[in-house]
Amino acid sequence: MFADPTGRWPRDVLVDGDRLLFGEGSDLTLYSLEDPANPVKTGTRRLGLGPRFDIIGDHAIVGLEWVGVQIMDLTDPTDIRVLDTFDTADRPASIAAVGDLIYVADQEGGFYVLRYVIDESS
C-alpha cells in the first residue's frame, strides 16, 4: 500500500498512462507510475484553490476556483507551465476534455464548451 498523507484537502485525481495527477489544497502534483505500486513525485505547481483537471496529450486542462480554466504544459514535470487561461463567470466545479473540446461545469456560471487549440508555431 502506498500512502502520502499531507493533511490537506484532496480535490481530484487522474491517471493517464504512467502518470498520475493529484490535486489537493492549492497544488497540482504529478507522480510517475512507472512502478504503479510505488508512485514517485515528479513535480508540483501551486495553483490556487480547488484544482480540478483532465489531460489532453501533454497538457493538463485545469479548472481553478476564482481563476477559470488554465492549459498547462506537462512536458517537463519539474517545470509545469501555464500556457493559457480562460476566465469563467465563477468557479469550475468539474472539467472534462474529449478530443479537442473542454466541458466545464461552472458553479454559478453555468456550462461552457471550449475548443482546445495549441499553436505549435510559437
* pTM reported for the whole predicted model: 0.83
C-alpha cell at 87: 476566465
pLDDT of residue 26: 82
3-state SS of 7-52?
Answer: CCCEEEEEEECCEEEEEECCEEEEEECCCCCCCEEEEEEECCCCCE
CA separation, residue 116 to residues 5, 75, 88, 102 (Å): 34, 17, 15, 7
Q: What is the DSSP letter of 64?
A: E
| Domains (range + CATH), the chain | 10-115 (2.40.128.630)
Name residue, grid cell 496529450. Answer: 57
User: How confident is the model over 41-84, as pLDDT tens digits?
Assistant: 999 998 877 788 999 989 999 988 888 999 999 999 889 999 99
pLDDT band at 110 (very low <50, low <70, confident <90, very high): very high
pLDDT of residue 117: 82
pLDDT of residue 20: 92
